[in-house]
Structure 1
Amino acid sequence: MAQLPEYAIIVAGGSGSRMQQALPKQFAEVAGKPILMHTIERFHRYNPEVRLIVVLPQLQLTVWRALCQKHGFNLSHRTVAGGATRFGSVKNGLKEVQGEALVAVHDGVRPFVETGTIKAAFGAAALYGSAVVAVSPKDSIRELTQEGSRAVPRANYRLVQTPQCFRASILRRAYEQPEQECFTDDASVVEQLGEKVALVEGSYRNIKITTPEDLVLAEAFAREMSNQG
C-alpha cells in the first residue's frame, strides 16, 4: 500500500499572558531564536517532506514573517490565520490538507518533541487511524469529590501531549461537528465520533512552554542538546 503524505498542523495561538510578557509565547526566544522555529525544525528533521501548516492569530502573521526574515529562517511552511479558539484554529489549518493523508496536530510551544516520538505517532495513526502521545503521571493524583477528595491509582491515568495524529478523513469528519466545551484537544473531538484513540509513549522533555519557569527549563534543555550536538 502506498504511503500516505504527512502533514503537521502546528498551532501557535498563545498571547503571552501566562508568560508575564507582551510577546506571544511562541515568539519568545530560546537559545537565540523563537520557540516556534525550534518546533518547526523538529518536524523538518523528522521528515524534510512533511507538509508544515503553521496556524497563528491573524495579527501575528506579519510579525512572524518579519521574525523569519530577521533570523534567516527559510524552512518551507504555509501560514494560516487561526480562529477564535483552538478548535477553530485546527479547523482552519485542516483546510490546507489535500486528500487522504496522515495529519499531526502539535502545539507550537512544544519545541523538544523527539523525532522518534513523531515517527511513532504517525506510524500508529497509519495503523489505527488515531494516535495520541502521552506519558505516565509522576505525581500522586487525587480526584475531587463532593466530600472533598480521594486518592486514585495513577497507573490508570496518562498525561496527554502532542503530536496527536490522525487520518485526514477522520479528522475532517470530527471537525465538522459543532464545537463543545468538552473538546479539550483533538483526541476528544475525534472520540466524539466514536473513534478509538491509540496511545503512543511520549517524553517528559516534550514540555509545553507556557510560564517563565518553563522558559528556564527550555534554555537548559537547549544548552544540553547543543553540547551533545
Structure 2
Amino acid sequence: MEQRNKVAIIVAGGSGSRMQSAIPKQFLDLAGKPVLYHTIAAFAASFKDMRIVLVLPEAHFHMAEEVLAHFEEKPDVTLVKGGETRFHSVKNGLRQVGDHAVVFVHDGVRPLVSTTLIRTCYEAALSHGSAIPVIDMKDSLREIDGEKNKAVDRERYKIIQTPQTFLSEILLPAFDLPYDALFTDEATVAERLGHAVHLVPGEEANIKITKPLDLVIAKALLEE
C-alpha cells in the first residue's frame, strides 16, 4: 500500500449552549477524561506517524493544553486558531498540511470514532481520492414543501459522519475557493471543484455529542 503523510484536522469550536453547560462540550467529562481527549487518542492510536492539528478558539488554547496533559505520552498536536465558520476553521488547519498527505477532517465532539474506521478511511482515500463515512437512516422521512408534506424513500439517503478524508491534492485546492454558505462539510467543498466523493460504511457508535443525552449514551458505549 502507498504510504503518505497523515494529518488529522480536529475541529473543536463548539460551545456549551445546547448542552446547557457553561463549559464547551468538547471539554466536558466523559468517563473521567475530557471528550476531546478521547477524540485525540483515537487518531493518535490509529497510526504512529499521525499528525494532529487541533482547531479551536484561541481563548480555549489553555483548556486544550489541560486536555493534552492527560496523555502519558503526548501526541504530535499543533494548536491552530479557528475561523468564523467551519469552512474557515478547516482552511486555517489546512495551512499546516504539506504535500503528499492524506487529510482527515473530524468533529472534536465525536469521541467514539474507532481506529478501525480511521484506517478504513485512509485506505479508501488512497484508492478513491476521498472517503466519507455514512450510516443508514432508521426513521421514516417526510419532505416539507410549504404547507404540504410527503413521504420520501429513506433508502436514498444516508447520515454523514466524520472523519471526512481526502488526498491533499484534492482538498487543499478546494479550500482555495471563496466561501459559500452551501459548504456544509468538506465533501460539498470538494464537489464544487468537480470531485466525486466516495462513501464508506460508518459506525453507529460514532455519535456527535451535542445534547446532554448524547453524553449519557457515549458514556454507556465506552463502559461496554
TM tier, smaller: over 0.9
- 2:197 maps to a residue whose letter is V
- 1:127 maps to a residue whose letter is S
How far apart in 2 are the matches of 1:108 and 1:49? 20
The 5-angstrom pairing of residues 107-118 of structure 1 reads 107-118=107-118
- Aligned residue for 2:105, secondary structure, equals strand
Higher alpha-carbon deviation: 103-112 or 2-11: 2-11
CA contact (8 A) 2:27 2:63 kept: no
Instruction: Quickly say closer, same or farther: Cα 1:45–1:78, change in 2 above 3 A.
Output: same
How far apart in 1 are the matches of 2:78 and 2:221? 28
How far apart in 2 are the matches of 1:73 and 1:26? 21
- The TM-score, its normalising length taken from structure 2, stands at 0.95
How far apart in 2 are the matches of 1:51 and 1:24? 24
Q: Which residue of 2 aligns with 1:160?
A: 160
Instruction: Quickly say closer, same or farther: Cα 1:115–1:67, change in 2 above 3 A.
Output: closer
Deviation for aligned residue 1:2: 4.2
Q: Which residue of 1 aligns with 2:124?
A: 124
How far apart in 2 are the matches of 1:171 and 1:49? 20
Q: Which residue of 2 aligns with 1:89?
A: 89
Higher alpha-carbon deviation: 126-135 or 142-151: 142-151
Q: Which residue of 1 aligns with 2:98?
A: 98
- The TM-score, its normalising length taken from structure 1, stands at 0.93
Count of aligned positions: 224
Deviation for aligned residue 1:98: 1.2
The 5-angstrom pairing of residues 45-64 of structure 1 reads 45-64=45-64
How far apart in 1 are the matches of 2:53 and 2:67? 17
- 1:145 maps to a residue whose letter is D
The 5-angstrom pairing of residues 26-65 of structure 1 reads 26-65=26-65
Higher alpha-carbon deviation: 120-129 or 144-153: 144-153
CA contact (8 A) 2:125 2:165 kept: yes
Deviation for aligned residue 1:71: 6.6
Listed one character per residue, the Cα deviations across residues 163-214 of structure 1 (whole Å, up to 9, x for unaligned) are 1000111111110111111111000111111100000000111000010010
List gaps (5 residues or longer) in structure 1.
225-229
CA contact (8 A) 2:36 2:67 kept: no
1:180 equivalent to 2:194? Answer no
How far apart in 2 are the matches of 1:199 and 1:171? 16
How far apart in 2 are the matches of 1:138 and 1:50? 34
- Aligned residue for 2:180, secondary structure, equals coil
Deviating runs (4+, > 4 A) in structure 1? Answer: 70-73
Deviation for aligned residue 1:146: 3.4
1:66 equivalent to 2:73? Answer no
CA contact (8 A) 1:33 1:71 kept: no
How far apart in 2 are the matches of 1:184 and 1:175? 13
Q: Which residue of 1 aligns with 2:15?
A: 15
Deviation for aligned residue 1:72: 5.5
List gaps (5 residues or longer) in structure 2.
none
Deviation for aligned residue 1:75: 2.3
How far apart in 2 are the matches of 1:20 and 1:65? 24
- 2:171 maps to a residue whose letter is L
CA contact (8 A) 2:50 2:76 kept: no
Deviation for aligned residue 1:66: 3.1
Deviation for aligned residue 1:123: 1.1
Q: Which residue of 2 aligns with 1:134?
A: 134
Please report the RMSD computed on the Cα atoms of aligned residues, expressed in angstroms: 1.4
Higher alpha-carbon deviation: 133-142 or 70-79: 70-79
